């Protein structure tokens, strides 16, 4: 029973649009009412009715060590004793910046912000200021936050809810955003040819994580690097999801391709709101106060977020959990595939490291077009069946799932068992 969550949702709708502060939380695409979470620890979350679920959302990726990791909570608690925010510089900002620049060779300097949206928005402004060009290239189905420039053919909640057009986005802004097809390098080349010396940057999720999980095909990221270099444009990797998630050095380490600017978030906040963008010094020195490109934030570098982020990144660096995460993710994938073979239901499994997605589709999913062929109605039934069997997933066909260090082999076995039960339920 989830009566308390239902009552809370009814109350929330009186005071917040749709009863939520982020659209996908509303469960519109899967039916039913959203959960209201009261507490969490390790791999489990508990709703307001104290139902426990094995969690594969992990706060949308940042909780790579699971919920309420002791070292992270300790860092936040000790920092909070001295105050929560000052609107001034703190030593914690330097500590986090130093460890990030030490891990990412592409980042000489980094600027902290408060969200992934701020990071991508600021990186694009910087690219425009540095190159003195106006147009940008983004990819259909990729999501870089809710800044105006990024909501043209966006992924994540905009894709999940099927929001048409770009309400609230001016025609001028839309005209400066050029759309290419993810994993189709020829569409990028054509845009460069048609807009000679007008394109400031190409921004891409190196692993698309907001239309489900869609890995880059071989040569795609390197091809983007080459095209940007040839045309004097900057290459921006939006690693808000992949940064520190699929490898310590993110997708650029995983695939061996170096961007000009990198956007980070989620994990570098250890579960608290944060974002960052960084790159080579000659580009970053264009930002105020050293240069003319203005960007600011009263709460940027918030001491609590810096402490949580530093604790999390330090753990990642010292413990190297990536082989363990890969082993667990592979165990889960193999178990799910074994179950899939028992049912006459088309399911495509996409995975990169500890992020993955199950598409209810007949053919492999390699871009937005193939992702959109997924049976979202069937996914909604599957989602609710998994929920009834104690598994919490992203309430959308077009979002990534995450595994954490805290997920045990028993959690994985329970998930595989729930998967089999859920497929049986949706066939009846």
How confident is the model at residue 339, as a pLDDT? 97
| 8 Å CB contact between 284 and 97 | no
pLDDT by residue (tens digit) across 118-137? Answer: 999 999 999 999 999 999 99
Cα distance between the two ends of the chain: 22
Crossing angle for the helix pair 409-427 and 322-340, to the nearest 10 degrees:
30
Of 53, 56, 143, 392, the active-site residue reads 143
| 8 Å CB contact between 53 and 391 | yes
Q: What is the rounded CA–CA span in Å between residue 86 and residue 301?
A: 10
How confident is the model at residue 309, as a pLDDT? 97
**Global pTM?**
0.94
Q: What is the rounded CA–CA span in Å between residue 347 and residue 345?
A: 6
Q: Is 139 helix (H, G, I), strand (E, B) or coil?
A: strand
Burial grade of 281 (CB within 10 A; 0-12, 13-18, 19 or more):
exposed
* 238 part of the active site: yes
pLDDT by residue (tens digit) across 95-107? Answer: 999 999 999 999 9
Peptide bond before residue 102 is cis, with ω within 30 degrees of 0: no
Q: What is the mean pLDDT of residues 210-222?
A: 96
CA angle 193, 227, 246 (to 5 degrees): 135
pLDDT by residue (tens digit) across 317-364? Answer: 999 999 999 999 999 999 999 999 999 999 999 999 999 999 999 999
| Residue-wise burial string across 106-131, b where 16 or more C-beta atoms lie within 10 A, e elsewhere | bbebbbbbbbbbbbbbbbbbbbbbbb
Q: Is the pLDDT of residue 231 over 70?
A: yes
Of 47, 55, 238, 367, the active-site residue reads 238
Q: What is the rounded CA–CA span in Å between residue 359 and residue 219?
A: 24
- Give me the chain's average pLDDT, please: 93
Q: What is the rounded CA–CA span in Å between residue 229 and residue 245?
A: 27
| 8 Å CB contact between 306 and 328 | no
Of 109, 266, 328, 381, the active-site residue reads 266
Domains of the chain: 3-64+321-427 (3.90.1150.10), 70-319 (3.40.640.10)
Q: What is the mean pLDDT of residues 300-313?
A: 97
How confident is the model at residue 161, as a pLDDT? 47
């Amino acid at each position: 029973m989830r009566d308390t969550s239902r009552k809370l949702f009814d109350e929330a709708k009186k005071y917040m649009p749709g009863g939520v502060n982020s659209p996908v939380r509303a469960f519109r695409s899967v039916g039913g009412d959203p959960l209201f979470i009261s507490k969490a620890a390790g791999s489990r979350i508990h709703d307001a009715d104290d139902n426990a679920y094995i969690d594969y959302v992990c706060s949308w990726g940042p909780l790579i060590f699971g919920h309420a990791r002791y070292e992270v909570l300790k860092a936040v608690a000790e920092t909070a004793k001295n105050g929560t925010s000052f609107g001034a510089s703190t030593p914690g900002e330097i500590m986090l910046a130093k460890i990030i620049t030490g891990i990412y060779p592409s980042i000489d300097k980094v600027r902290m912000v408060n969200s992934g949206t701020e990071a991508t928005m600021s990186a694009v402004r910087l690219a425009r200021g540095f190159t003195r060009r106006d147009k940008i290239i983004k990819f259909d189905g990729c999501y870089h936050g809710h800044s105006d420039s990024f909501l043209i053919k966006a992924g994540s909640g905009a894709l999940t809810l099927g929001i048409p057009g770009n309400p609230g986005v001016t025609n001028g802004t839309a005209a400066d955003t050029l759309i290419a097809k993810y994993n189709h390098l020829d569409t990028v080349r054509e845009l460069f040819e048609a807009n000679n010396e007008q394109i400031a940057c190409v921004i891409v999720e190196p692993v698309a994580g907001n239309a489900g999980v869609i890995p880059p095909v071989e040569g795609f990221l390197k091809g983007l690097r080459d095209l940007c270099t040839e045309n004097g444009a900057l290459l921006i990797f939006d690693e808000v999801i992949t940064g520190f998630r699929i490898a310590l050095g993110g997708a650029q380490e995983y695939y061996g391709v170096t961007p000009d600017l990198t956007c980070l978030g989620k994990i570098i906040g250890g579960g608290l709101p944060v974002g960052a963008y960084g790159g080579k010094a000659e580009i970053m020195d264009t930002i105020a106060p050293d240069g003319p490109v203005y960007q600011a934030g009263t709460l940027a570098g918030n001491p609590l977020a810096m402490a949580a982020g530093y604790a999390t990144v330090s753990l990642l660096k010292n413990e190297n959990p990536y082989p363990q995460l890969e082993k667990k993710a592979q165990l889960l994938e193999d178990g799910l595939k074994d179950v899939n073979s028992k049912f006459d239901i088309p399911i495509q499994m996409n995975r990169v490291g500890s992020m993955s997605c199950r598409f209810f589709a007949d053919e492999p999913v390699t871009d937005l077009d193939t992702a959109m062929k997924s049976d979202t109605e069937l996914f909604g039934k599957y989602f609710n069946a998994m929920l009834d069997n104690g598994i919490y997933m992203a309430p959308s066909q077009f979002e990534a799932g995450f595994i954490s260090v805290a997920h045990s082999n028993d959690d994985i076995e329970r998930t595989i068992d729930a998967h089999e039960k859920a497929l049986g339920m949706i066939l009846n």
